Amino acid sequence: MVKKDIDCKLREKIESGQPLSEGEYRELGEIVKDVLTFMAKEKIIPSPQNYERWFRIFCYARENNLSLSKSELVDIYLDLYQIKDDIDAESVNVVERIAEDLFNEIQQVLRSVSEHHRGISESGQKLEEMAVSLQTQDIQRVLSRIMNEVRGLKNVNRKFIQKLEEQRTEIERLKDELRRVKEEASIDPLTGLRNRRSFERALSEFFRDFKKFGYPFSVIMFDLDDFKEINDTYGHLAGDKVLKEIGNILRNYLRAKDVPARTGGEEFTIILPGITREEALMVAERLRKVIANYAVEYEGKKISPTASFGVAEVTPDTESPEELIRVADENLYRAKRQGKNAVVG
């Protein structure tokens, strides 16, 4: 984990007004190039604040000889500037609402223009019938000019309707893309459960409701025992399959309103709304038995994982969601020290 207050000696030197050596100028040029390339590639708005933040991170990475992936760079950014996914989720929600409003407006305009188009077509038909029935050449010439105008309006309307249809299709695509982005932002791709940040958002909401309305809830945290040995013995694909099966077990054995999440490599955490500590202990014990008796088949071999569980219930003395997780985590490690494949709460 990168420390929150990361250092950038080159940045500090520039800010203090100290002269730079030739080597430091070359280093500065490389960092600037890396930052601008990254921001352009990731479509980050090149505002002074954004540039300053990413320069600091890239400078830190270069000075410490760190080769960081995109996800690692983003994690440092989120951690350093305390930007949570709920901000991102809210941004997506705002864009989604705008897209929905725009889609509805286009639907209304499209209906209005289509009705107008039908009215013009009907009027044009009547004018053509009148032109045939009337004998006076002057009247026929006037009607012919009017009909030409009507035909022109029909062509304009037809093009307008086509353009509206194209925009409606594009906004539908945007809405689908936004739904996909929201899902990917909150779901662990391997297990299909919530990811850590989505779980933390949910936990904060439950904690807020407890403090405001007194709604009780408990938390179960569990960790697969000796998971490294599974990876070392059978391979990482086998380990991935075990994690997927744990996700399936949680979906099958928990209530619809419970909130299970994969919060670490082989670590899972569950929010149990309306459940006391004693009831949570029973839920954890049931899950422990299910996992211990479950055999994951992989390439003709059976893998039998076990898990250790820690349980905690929110109380009026609980000061924060982090404190509740800390208690559950401490109980989990007590279960590990007691020999694993156990429940402590």
Planar angle of CA 207, 210, 215, nearest 5 degrees: 130
Phi, psi angle pair for 269, to nearest 5° = -135, 140
Distance, in Å, from the CA atom of 280 to the CA atom of 274, rounded to the nearest integer, reads 10
- The DSSP 8-state label assigned to residue 313 in this structure reads E
Whose structure tokens read 């995109």?
70
Q: In what order do the strands lie in the sheet with 307-313?
A: 259-262, 267-273, 217-224, 307-313, 343-344
- Dist CA 250 CA 240 (whole Å): 16
| Catalytic choice (200, 245, 266, 313) | 266
Q: How far apart are CA 206 and CA 314, in angstroms?
A: 10
Torsional sign, CA 235, 237, 242, 247:
positive
Q: Is 90 exposed, middle or buried (0-12, 13-18, 19+ CB in 10 A)?
A: exposed
Q: Structure tokens of 311?
A: 């349980």
206: phi then psi, degrees, rounded to nearest 5: -65, -40
266 is catalytic: yes
Q: Which residues are catalytic?
A: 266
